[in-house]
Chains A and B, each alone.
Chain A
Amino acid sequence: MQLQLRGMTKSFGDLVANDDISVTIEAGQIHALLGENGAGKSTLMNILYGLLRPDSGEILVDGSPVAFGSPADAIKVGIGMVHQHFMLVPVFTVAQNVELGDERVGPLGFLRTSEAEEAVREVSQRFGLEVDPAAIVEDLPVGIQQRVEIIKALTRDASCLILDEPTAVLTPQETDELLAIIRGLRDSGKSIVLITHKLREVREAADVITVIRRGRVVATAIPPSTSETELAALMVGREVSLTVDRGTSSPEAQTLQVRGLTVYDAADRVVVDDVSFDVRAGEILCIAGVQGNGQTELVEAIMGLQDRVVGEIHVGGTVTSHPETRRMLALGVGYVPEDREEDGLVSTFSLAQNLVLDTISTSRWSRYGIVDYARIDAGARELLAQFDVRARDAYVTAGTLSGGNKQKVVLARELSRDLTVLIAAQPTRGLDVGSIEFVHRRLIEVRDSGVAVLIVSTELDEVCALADRILVMYQGRVAGIVGRDSPRDDLGMLMAGVVPA
């Protein structure tokens, strides 16, 4: 099936997400849409899948125009989508998820479970996507869940498959498997659209690359003839260096020590299992691992944000067995939370207010319980300039900023105190390349000023760029702690729970 998008334009308020985009996707081709977060890739694909309506522009299938009012219309012409956030009902079985919306029923609408399971088995055998049709989806690892999504599209006879950031949640090995599956599908004549911001995958798998920047198509490239650096430059719109000038670390005394930390979740599951490690002053320890292997809970436990925690945490010379947030802050622990929208900022507060959230009760900003706004504003203006936050003034609400600027505000707040430890979870997730560079540089500076830095990241590139040592987590445990120069393959194996010899 040949799929053509012509002159697609879509705006949300003032923001033009897609500006006159034209793309042609040929049958039997893997077509990558490359662009930064917010470049407009997902908007474009949501239009193609009938989830959004374009302001103008048309979709042509094999040369004839079509109009999609809902995903049902897109499915009908043979477009299938694997969403970044899986569209699977967690409490349903694989077969139920696959058949939803296109159920196999007998008289009176009764479900024919065995037929539905057989249909899944048939497709999974034909395309080599192994999965148990009777398994409950929430019990499956994410890699398998993604398979279910692909099967879901294939059972609907999709001849064009759109994959939205499919590798974001996968281990490197799972990524390789997925790319192999995608190639297999292409060879059987399907057209594949791969939406991603990861250069490596694009170069590995794509037949054609369309680069999108700020809602416009800026280039079409053929992989072997275009290098990663060139692609990055196209994506960002200027020359970027893909590496951080990290200098050398000079680690000193052990500052943060975690001993035998175990965390239980609300459902009694062990999410962090007997984790111990040290971070020395002046070094960066990166916690690598696939999303959902206990990193989030580990960091929250250290910061006193988890309920059921066993184990000891040493900061400087102080030992805590039941960490409490206020105490950890007082000990000089800075914290950049994973979800900056929810946990990092109060989006309806001004930047100035956000910058003093954790220090408002100190004599610096208030006296006898009365807040001194003049001083807070002066301090805020200084910090905003220092951290290059692009905002009209210190009074705009935090919610109106872009992701990169939000993260700069969080960093500015945390670094405005005297720190001994800085914990940053997913510090660059969803940021544009410019902001990523800025954040990385700052983190290195913090390290060089003698702070113990703990970074959690699921991006292996980021881990390799920043870390002095790397701790890999798998299923709540420490799979291994290795030096920064370990081969990526070893890291990938550790992330899959396999210890390389």
Chain B
Amino acid sequence: MSAAMTAVPEAPAIAPVSPRRPLAMVAIAVFLGGLFTWLAPAGQVTTFIFNLGQQFFEIPDWSVNSRTAAAAFALIAVLAALAAWPLHMRRRSVLWPSAIMGAALIMSFLSWVASDESLPVTGLLQGSLLLAVPLVFGAMAGVLCERSGVININIEGQLLAGAFMGAVIGSLTVNVYLGLLAAPLAGALIGVLLATFATRYFVDQVVVGVVLNVLVIGLTGFLYSRFLSEDPDRWNNPPRLPNITIPVLSEIPVVGPVMFEQNLIVYLMYVTVILVQLGLFSTRWGLRVRAVGEHPDAAASVGIRVNSVRFRTVVLGAAVAGLGGAFFTLGSVGAFGREMTAGNGFIALAAVIFGRWTPLGSLGAALLFGFAYNLQNVLSIIGSPIPSQFLLMAPYLVTLIAVVGLVGKVRAPAADGIPFRKSA
């Protein structure tokens, strides 16, 4: 009988690929690269400095003609964009060409704006990492919560609570490590509120998150003016975390000073990212968290208690954000200031989405945003031809472009933001 049958031909499973994306990449590379080359003064020299502190060997400073360098990097950017074309048409990932194009455009840009100046590259990267620290912690908090199916728009509040408690406990006890312990506890406390409303009373998670942000801003603001600014020596004078230099590693040129001459919180950040990545994708705990965020009914049908998994994951995430908040008061600034997190929590949320809800992707996104922040700082110090108001926009512009333009199609955890109720 089977000899008499013919199979219906298999349908081509996919629509024709539109070349819109590589086209846009080439257009952007040509336009921006051309613009930077045109703006870069031909007669001037841009110097890139790589040395910082004591290293195994010194990379000599690199001085080039501004326009030549801008043009060369622009060319690399265009080539990377062109390389993305065939990959995209064959439905391959264009992550690497995009990254190379972005980096080359940034170098082209720097060749222009730092003409006749010296640009401390290593210093720029070091500062970028520091500014990215709260973003990375915030993004890890976001990844954890949203993987379990709870939208965490409350990262900002959790960071702020961590910053506040870190400062206060650190000051009162005159012990920076007790402050460092208090910060995640404060974050977790806010997380308990979020988790309770989200998983027990099924309140809209975005609304609860916003309300909790307002609550933390108001509460810390009130306590700040009532106590911290009244008697700063007692309440708002925490010791700062010392920098720990890791032997050997810290002497690698560029990488060493950027990564291995930092304080404890930065090292905790490395550990956190690795733990979240391994935890989510290689352990039983992670499998259950993801199951609960993707298909809670399926998880419930094999006896997993969905809302309790969500509750614990949200509290854990909030604790991670709280720890990140401590970086503001114990790691960098040294004292608490009103609303000092300044939107970092929301940028962290953007990093979660840009990083496609993966720990490593979000880490990359957070680092990019940190770089945009610091570039603005460095350029205003060395003096650049761009008005400072425009530079202030840079981080947000990068965020916007990244989230809207480069992300492409992203898929959030299927049950993200949807409360889980048993059928009876």
Contacts and interface: CB of A to CB of B under 8 A. Distances in A.
B7 A499 contact: yes
A497 B414 contact: no
Interface stretch (A236-244, A395-403, A475-483): A475-483
Contact of A501 (B5, B282, B283, B285): B5
Contact of B13 (A96, A109, A270): A270
A157 B291 CA distance: 22
B356 interface: no
A498 B6 contact: yes
Given A91-B294, A267-B409, A75 B8 contact: no
B386 interface: no
A319 interface: no
B298 interface: yes
B47 to A, nearest CB: 47
B276 to A, nearest CB: 14
Interface of B: 4-15, 17, 282-285, 287-288, 290-291, 294-295, 297-305, 409, 414, 422-424
Interface stretch (A26-34, A45-53, A212-220, A362-370): A45-53
B278 to A, nearest CB: 8
A90 B414 contact: yes
A269 B13 CA distance: 6
B298 to A, nearest CB: 4
Contacts of A268: 14-15, 17
B13 A90 contact: no
A440 B261 CA distance: 78
Contacts of A73: 303
A89 B298 contact: yes
Interface stretch (A98-106, A227-235, A332-340): A98-106
A86 B297 CA distance: 9
Contact of B287 (A51, A96, A273): A96
Interface string A336-357: 0000000000000000000000
Given A52-B424, A111-B282, A100 B287 contact: yes
Interface of A: 12, 46, 49, 51-53, 70-73, 75, 81, 83, 85-92, 96-97, 99-103, 105, 108-111, 152, 264, 266-270, 273, 308, 474-477, 479, 493-494, 497-501
A103 B295 CA distance: 17
A308 B295 contact: no
B256 to A, nearest CB: 31
Contacts of B298: 86-89, 97, 100
13 contacts: A12-B424, A87-B295, A89-B291, A100-B287, A100-B299, A101-B303, A111-B283, A111-B284, A152-B302, A475-B8, A475-B10, A497-B8, A499-B5
Contact of B5 (A71, A476, A500): A500
B7 to A, nearest CB: 6
Contacts of A493: 5
A88 B302 CA distance: 10
Contacts of A102: 302
A126 B390 CA distance: 68
Given A81-B301, A88-B298, A53 B424 contact: yes
A86 B301 CA distance: 10
Nearest to A86: B298
A71 B12 contact: no
Given A100-B299, A475-B11, A497-B8, A52 B288 contact: no
B224 to A, nearest CB: 41
A474 B12 CA distance: 13
A479 B8 contact: yes
B332 to A, nearest CB: 33
Given A270-B15, A476-B11, A110 B414 contact: no
Contacts of A499: 5-8
B303 A109 contact: no
B12 A270 contact: yes
A273 B301 contact: no
Contacts of A273: 11-12
A100 B304 contact: yes
B301 A87 contact: yes
Nearest to B91: A268
B291 A92 contact: yes
A363 B341 CA distance: 59
Contacts of A71: 300-303
Contacts of B7: 497-499
A100 B6 contact: no
Given A89-B290, A100-B304, A46 B8 contact: no
A312 B305 CA distance: 51
A398 B17 CA distance: 44
A86 B302 CA distance: 12
A138 to B, nearest CB: 10
B423 A501 contact: no
A118 to B, nearest CB: 17
A498 B297 CA distance: 35
Nearest to A101: B302
Contact of A474 (B8, B13, B423): B8
A125 to B, nearest CB: 23
Return the 6 tightest CB-CB contacts between A and B, nearest first.
A72-B303, A101-B302, A501-B4, A87-B298, A264-B15, A87-B301
Given A88-B295, A97-B298, A499-B7, 16 more contacts: A72-B302, A75-B302, A89-B295, A90-B295, A91-B294, A100-B288, A100-B299, A101-B299, A108-B283, A111-B287, A264-B15, A270-B13, A475-B10, A493-B5, A498-B8, A500-B4
Contacts of A52: 423-424
Contacts of B414: 90-91
A415 B373 CA distance: 63
A8 to B, nearest CB: 14
A477 B423 CA distance: 38
A419 to B, nearest CB: 32
Q: Which of A52, A96, A110 has the largest count of B CB atoms less than 10 A from its CB?
A: A110
A94 to B, nearest CB: 13
A101 B303 CA distance: 7
Contacts of B17: 268
A13 B365 CA distance: 51
Contacts of B422: 51
A476 B8 CA distance: 11
Contacts of B297: 85, 87
Nearest to B298: A87
A248 B334 CA distance: 89
Given A52-B423, A101-B303, A109 B283 contact: yes
A269 B303 contact: no
Nearest to B295: A89
Contacts of A494: 8
A308 B15 CA distance: 10
A102 B6 CA distance: 43
A110 B15 contact: no
A101 B295 CA distance: 13
Contacts of B304: 100-101
A92 B147 CA distance: 13
B303 A103 contact: no
